[in-house]
Amino acid sequence: MTLSTIKSPEEIRRLKNFKRGIDFTILIVGEEGIGKSSFINCLCQKTVIPPNMDQVNPVNASLNSDLRIEKIHVDIVEENSTPISLNLILAPGFGENIDNSLATAKIVKYLELQFDLVLKEEYKIERNQNFKDGRPHAALYFIRATSKGLRELDIEVMKELSKRCNLIPVIGKADSLTSEELVLNRRLIFSDIKRNDIKIYDFGNNDTGFEQIDELNIFENCLPFAVSGSYETKQIKGSIVHVREYPWGTFKVEDVKHNDFTLLRNVLFGSHLQELKESTSVMIYEKYRKAKLRNSVPKFANGELKIAQSPQGYEDPTIYSTEMETGKSGNELENQLKDLMNKKKLLETYTNEVKLLEEKLHIASLEG
């Protein structure tokens, strides 16, 4: 091997990353017909969900009722960039009932289950090499622009999502709004978000390189992102773009002057990808883990071993049920603690014996 054939560390790192790809998971929630599938199609730059099809095959459908959780895997491979192994989590059936509180609860249950599975994995001595981390790194919530701000359902689900995900609010079908209507809707939705104390993802709290070009206030003016999607493509100036044709002209999905689609895509797949992943494991999951352990770590009350059943701050214990609490892991933890207490008692006995011997020695030395 000659010196010229040895790759630089940076090159090796890049090649390794390229081979492995970056895992990224997005949860997409929104009422029926708001443009989710069309948006996903543009986001992935390929037909992921065929047009006029409600959804693709329910792979790994985990909840069987009006609201289902479906997962789609897509490899995003683009020239000169690390491939993204993208997992999309969809919730078809959301918002279609009169009482949608159950739908929100089901999404919450699914998200908490993903946290619990990670927590359970962390507890293991022998980790599962093929464990798939299902925690979404971003949750896109599609809002219908009604010129009245958020609806009760939007508030309810956004509140719950924001506790468990990096929530990014999105206004769907942006092309159907005039610029004045968009400004009004953005203002109303944003003030409802603030008034209801919904914690959306904080774009200002990161080092993404955006500061250098003073584009941070882009996010302030663009929240919620107003996006459009389409299945129709057209060749314009040598490149294929997604379009929506109107009598007044052609609306181009990828055109930054027409809507925020490209900005949002860049945020998800570029500028904020790592930050969204870090924030998920360092902030969101950590908060959940602490709350969960604080309540499930065995406590001794009157000499009795007790294990609390539901995590504080993550309400609704009725929908909360995991193996961690009910099954093997709880018992394992209990046994470990009993073992620890026995050892502690033994240590106390030895310490007392040593103390006694020391005292005897001291007395003997005085007498002698």
Helix axes 328-367, 101-123, angle to 10 degrees: 50
206 binds ligand GTP (CB under 6 A): no
Residue 33 near which of ligand GTP, Mg ion, none (CB within 5-8 Å, type-dependent): ligand GTP
Using the minimum distance from each CB to ligand GTP, give the nearer residue, 149 or 229.
229
Among 116, 175, 254, 275, binds ligand GTP (CB under 6 A): 175
252 binds ligand GTP (CB under 6 A): no
- What gap in Å lies between CA 136 and CA 163, rounded to an integer? 12
What DSSP state is assigned to residue 285?
H
What DSSP state is assigned to residue 8?
P
Task: For the CB of residue 37, give the shortest distance to ligand GTP in the complex, in Å.
Answer: 3
269-288 binders of ligand GTP (CB under 6 A): none
Nearest to 227 by CA among 169, 287, 172: 172
* Tally: H helices and E strands in the chain: 11, 11
DSSP string, 122-150: HH-SS--TT------SEEEEEE---SS--
Task: For the CB of residue 30, give the shortest distance to ligand GTP in the complex, in Å.
Answer: 6
- Whether the CB-CB separation of 212 and 298 falls below 8 Å is answered with no
Residue 176 near which of ligand GTP, Mg ion, none (CB within 5-8 Å, type-dependent): ligand GTP
Residue 228 near which of Mg ion, ligand GTP, none (CB within 5-8 Å, type-dependent): ligand GTP
Task: For the CB of residue 36, give the shortest distance to Mg ion in the complex, in Å.
Answer: 5
Among 26, 27, 29, 34, binds ligand GTP (CB under 6 A): 34
Measured from each CB, the residue nearest to ligand GTP is 35
Among 24, 29, 37, 116, binds Mg ion (CB under 5 A): 37
What DSSP state is assigned to residue 227?
-
- Whether the CB-CB separation of 25 and 89 falls below 8 Å is answered with yes
- Give contact residues for ligand GTP (rule: CB under 6 A): 30, 32-38, 54, 92, 173, 175-176, 228-229, 244
